Structures are given as structure tokens and as C-alpha cells.
Homo-oligomer: A and B are copies of this chain.
Amino acid sequence: MTQLSIAKDGDISESMHKVADIEGVSTDFLKEKIAAGEIVLLQNIKRKDLFPVGIGTGLRIKINANIGTSKDLNDLELEINKLKEAIKYGAHTVMDLSTGGDLTEIRKRMIEESNVPIGTVPVYQGAYYMMKKGKSFAEMKVKDFFNLIQEQAEQGVDFMTIHCGVTRSSVNRLKKDGRLAGLVSRGGSLMVEWMEFNKAENPFYQYYDDLLAIAYDYDITLSLGDGFRPGAIDDSTDRPQVQELIILGELVERAREGNVQVMVEGPGHIPINEIETNILLEKKLCKNAPFYVLGPLVTDVAPGYDHIVGAIGGSIAAVSGADYLCYVTPAEHLKLPDVSDVREGVIASRIAAHVGDMIRRNEVDWDYALSKARKDFHWDEVIKLALDPVKAETFRSMVKPQDNEVCSMCGDFCAIKKMKKVLGGGE
């Protein structure tokens, strides 16, 4: 049984009760949207104590933080610190994208230490272990792909990115059309390597039912990876990207028929005026499956500040209907993120998600409360309500005002204070 099959049967699970409560929606609404595939609940059945996270129509916009080792920086404790920092600052989920060290052990620790759903890209593990054996990824056997999924499912991974839409036809579309940055998806590029070398179809596409069977057993939510996401503004919304999305749409319906929860991943580098179209396209082609966007990044020119670039794109995506934002850290395109990069990425993404919730769910009480506290000079309350109270407190303390009511920017020129004096407090 999966949340999807339960909902289709018209039943309401304990997880649905929990999620409906925290999201402020009715259990009936939630059940109907899960049954329709518009909402997924992330929770591997092995993780009974996990508070499930709901993603999709009518729910708050969620954010994900990617962490994980690499060959160049492989330190499990550092990754655990990143995990904790991400959760502390409000990441709703974390993906372990480790590609260095003992991947199984790292994943085990992440799952143990995390009270939020954990996602993975299973093929990374295959590629890493083949590399360690001195072999090419292309030598991997089809059954090994599914063994990987099985192993990670059994460990308790809650959602998995699988690049099922990287098929012979979509790869041919890429070859035919060309692109500035080519493929920038690691998982996608691995599948292309395997397919080209073996002159074979993507095993996750060809044997999709086997994938669905494992996902069903553990109620793992499939996140259909966007192997062809544009990695440069020049490649945005091109034929390879849309070709893959069409295939993903087909696979969404097959997953739903198999009672497997499924969402769809999306771009990527997209100019600001194409974001709304990308969201609409996903919603149409993939029958309103929850949309998980990476950024989007609205310009290529700001490495070191891609968290800001992603917050711009993410805000517009959120307002336009995206359900789930993958954070981008300041380190993107330059290095593996450290703990402070993770924090900056999570906060930028949370701003974008909240901006979306303000519009889509009319969630403006938080804004009202903070501005009310600001107007009343209740600084303790302002700091407590701030998205990052630690930074707000630190900044306020850096240049202490002589008058405790105001701040050191305006000092005696505080307009709010003057207006209270002149017009009275109750305007």
C-alpha cells in the first residue's frame, strides 16, 4: 500500500492526518489531491517515525537542500553539520548527493540524523563504485541498476531522482539540435554514457515497471529527473528539454497507474520571462504532477551569488505554480558548498518559497506581525520573527543606536518615531 493507493481507495492515512493538520487543509482535500497525483507525501515505509512532508497543489511551497561529499572534499562529519544547518534554517527535505567516501555509510548516517525526508540520485552510487573498481560506468549491468534502488529503498530513502526521460529519442533530439552547454545533469550524463556505449535504451525507461515495483513496495516517491535541464540561458526551453518533459509526462501517468507517487524535476537556467511558461508546460504535459524546480537561475553571470539568482527565479516559479524549490548555494558552479553556503542557500530559498506562499496561500500574517513589531519598536519581537533571528540580532548589535527604540541607520531621523509624535500612534 502507498499513500496514493490508500487515497484512491478513499481512505485517510495517519500521515494524511498529520500533513493536513500542519498545512491547514482538510483531510478530504488532501486525500483527493493525493489520489489525483497532485500531491505527494514523502515517507519511505521504513521510516515510521518520520513526519511526512507533503508537496503539491494547495500546500506550502517546500524547499530542498542538496548536500554530500565529493572526491575533492570527503568529510562525513562536515556533511552531517551541513545536514543539521539545513534543517535548522528550514529545509523541508535534504538530498544526499555524495560522490566520495563510503556512500552506503554516509547515507545511513544521514537518514539516522535527519528528521526530514532524505532523497538520493541512486546512479551516483553505481558510478562511484564502478570507478573505484577501475571500471567504466557503461559496464554496469542492468540488474545492478535495480539492485542499487533496492538497497537504497531498504535503507529508508524517501524519494529518488531517476533520469527516466533520458531516452534514445531525447538523446537524438539533443544530437540533432545541439546546445551551448550540452547536458549539465550528472545523473543524465551518466545515463547517456551508458546508453551510447551499450547502444541500448535507458534501463530505467525500458524496465520502468521494475522501478515502479520497488518504489511501490517502500512507498518511495519518484522524482523524475530532468537530464536535459538547460545549463545556460542560451539553452532554455529548447527542443531537447521539452522533448524530455513530454516523456516524463507519460511516465507520470504510468507511475500513478502503478500507485507510485511521482513528481517531476525542472530547470535550470531559464530567463525570467520564460519561467511561467515552463511551469504551465509541466502542469499540462505532466497532468499537474508536483513540480520540483532547480532554481531556476535567471542569469549565468553571477557565480558566487547564485543563491540570489535562484531566489529571483524561485520566487517567480513559486508564484507561477511550482511546488518545491531546490536551493542553490553561493558555491554553485564553483565548489562544493560549506556549512555557511548551505545556510545562505536555504535562507534564499525560504524567502522565495514564502514569497510564493504569500500569493498562493495568502500567507501574510508573518509579514504583518513583523511589521507591527517594527512599528511598535518591539525589537525583541522583530528579531524573534525574523527569518534568521541570529543574523538579525547580530546586525542590530553591530552598530548600537544611542536611542534604543530606533536603529543606527536613521537614528534621530527615524520616520516611524517622528510620525508617532506628530500624528499619534494610531494612524
Chain A interface residues toward B at CB < 8 A: 70-73, 99-100, 124, 127, 131, 174-175, 178-186, 188-190, 192-193, 196-197, 231-234, 269, 271-273, 298-305, 307-309, 311-312, 315-316, 319, 330-338, 347-348, 351-352, 354-355, 358-359, 364, 366-368, 370-372, 374-375, 382, 385-388, 391-392, 394-396, 398-402, 407-416, 418-423, 426-427
Known: A358-B271, A371-B180. A413 touches B305 (CB 8 A): no
Give every chain B residue within 8 A of A183 (Cβ-Cβ).
415-416, 418-419
A418-B193 contact given A131-B412, A335-B396, A392-B303, CB 8 Å threshold: yes
Number of copies: 2
Residues from chain B with a CB closer than 8 A to the CB of A131 are 412
A394 cross-chain contacts in B, Cβ below 8 A: 304
Query: Which of A192, A334, A355, A394 lies at the interface centre, i.e. has the most chain B CB atoms within 10 A of its CB?
Result: A334
Residues of B within 8 A of A193 (CB): 418, 421-422
The answer to whether B232 and A99 have CB atoms under 8 Å apart is: no
Known: A182-B427, A193-B422. 18 other contacts (CB 8 A): A71-B411, A99-B413, A182-B375, A182-B423, A231-B371, A232-B371, A233-B358, A234-B367, A272-B319, A301-B367, A302-B351, A305-B391, A308-B348, A312-B315, A331-B395, A334-B392, A335-B395, A335-B396
State the CA gap A58–B39 with chains docked (Å).
44
From B99, B181, B269, B385, A411 is in contact (CB under 8 Å) with: B99
- Does B399 lie within 8 Å of A180, measured CB to CB? no
Residue of B124, B335, B370 near A409 (CB, 8 A) is: B335
In the bound complex, CA of A197 to CA of B385 (Å): 36
Q: A358 to chain B: which residues have CB within 8 Å?
A: 233, 271-272, 298-299
Q: How far is the CA of A98 from the CA of B411 in the complex (A)?
A: 11
A400 to B309, CA, bound (A): 24
User: Which of B99, B232, B348, B367 is the one whose CB lies under 8 Å from A305?
Assistant: B348
Assuming the contacts A301-B387, A311-B311, asked whether A374 and B415 have C-beta atoms less than 8 A apart, the reply is no
Is there an interface contact between A271 and B305, defined as CB atoms closer than 8 Å?
no
Using Cβ atoms and an 8 Å threshold, which residues of chain B touch A302? Answer: 347, 351, 386-388
Q: How far is the CA of A332 from the CA of B416 in the complex (A)?
A: 15
Cross-chain pairs A/B with CB under 8 angstroms, 24 sampled:
A179-B427, A182-B415, A182-B423, A193-B421, A232-B375, A233-B358, A273-B359, A298-B355, A300-B367, A300-B368, A300-B370, A301-B351, A301-B354, A301-B387, A302-B386, A304-B386, A304-B395, A308-B308, A311-B311, A312-B351, A312-B352, A334-B407, A335-B399, A336-B408
